[in-house]
Amino acid sequence: MAVVALSAIASAASAAADNSGAADLVPLVPAPTAPAVAPAPASPAAPAATSCLPSGDGYLRARIGGALDAKIDWPNRGTQCQGESKTTSPGIRMSFQRAAGGKPNWLFVFGLTGVTEGAPAHDSGVNLTIILQGTSRIFGTLGDSRCTVDSLTQKPLPSPHVYRVEARGFCTQPAHAVRGDGDLLVSTFEFAGLVNYAE
């Protein structure tokens, strides 16, 4: 937004003098001026609210059982999501977490195999990692054979190589503890987030 600099404009008033005699001239006493008041400091701008997708339709939903029981239902607002193409094999990697954190403070990372830019996908394998941030607990499927995305669509966004990716799937076997104890079974999951294939 352009900022317009405001200039102070001084106006001078001309007084008409009576030329009939010097004794008739009355000296003008300037009116007292109010002391200058410093402008109030501007209020700091409120931080922009975190959201997954600019379009307002990002989300993550999942049903978790095992060592921890939870029903995840994260809307677009307050959810951080990001995605990129995987370098080791064709596919994408997408992550989701709540901006303000929570108890527990989950981080979900979905590594999808066989997903290419702009194309729909079916029956894609998923390597799922779940991290409880602020603790040492990490759970992972350690491969893409335990979870499956049965439906995935991609919608191009205004930026080149950036897409809204929407998917749903399930896991048939649990994610084992990589650090800590226990297993987590994500019986169902669905999400919509952003993937930047240029990164």
Q: Where are the beta strands (DSSP E) in the chain?
A: 59-66, 70-74, 79-85, 91-98, 105-113, 124-133, 138-140, 147-156, 162-171, 175-179, 183-196
Reported as a single tens digit per residue, the pLDDT across 176-188 is 999 878 999 999 9
pTM for the full predicted model: 0.75
The CA-based dihedral angle spanning residues 74, 76, 109, 162, taken in that order and rounded to the nearest 10 degrees: 160
Beta bridge partners of 111: 93, 127
User: pLDDT averaged over the chain?
Assistant: 82
* Whether the predicted pLDDT of 41 surpasses 70: no
> Taken in order 46, 52, 53, 57, is the CA torsion positive or negative?
negative
The domain spans of the chain are 59-196
Reported as a single tens digit per residue, the pLDDT across 50-91 is 899 999 999 999 999 999 999 999 999 999 999 999 877 789
